[in-house]
């Protein structure tokens, strides 16, 4: 849910526009979203790393086509018309070793 306040901050996603619209990704952590980025969220999944603030934008259709888990695919199809901006605890840019270790552990656990 987006809220509006009186002060204007730089858009967290594009860093070009200033906006008063924001949402809380986590309790107490706000991200500001301009109209253009909000519109982009209709057709793209947008992920924001809460550690380094790097933004990842991927086409919804492309992400859904590449999914192999049918239950997850069904859930994402239901969200296809929604504007979704998600926060990540960490990303490959700020913790590539941690992500790779997580992937190794999950592969071992599934064998």
Closest CA to 36 of 60, 12, 6: 12
pLDDT tens sequence across 74-96 = 888 887 788 888 888 888 888 77
Which DSSP letter does residue 82 get? Answer: S
Label the pairing between strands 85-88 and 44-49: parallel
pTM: 0.74
Report the run of H or E that residue 56 belongs to, with start and end.
strand 55-59
pLDDT tens sequence across 40-75 = 999 999 999 988 889 999 999 898 889 888 888 888
């Amino acid at each position: 849910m987006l809220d509006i306040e009186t002060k204007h901050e730089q858009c967290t996603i594009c860093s070009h526009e200033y906006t008063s619209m924001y949402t809380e990704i986590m309790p107490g952590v706000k991200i500001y979203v301009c109209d253009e980025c909000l519109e982009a969220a209709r057709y793209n999944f947008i992920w924001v790393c809460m550690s380094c603030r790097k933004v990842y934008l991927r086409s919804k259709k492309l992400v859904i086509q590449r999914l192999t888990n049918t239950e997850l695919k069904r859930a994402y199809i239901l969200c296809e018309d929604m504007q979704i901006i998600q926060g990540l605890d960490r990303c490959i840019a700020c913790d590539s070793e941690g992500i790779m270790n997580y992937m190794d552990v999950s592969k071992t656990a599934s064998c």
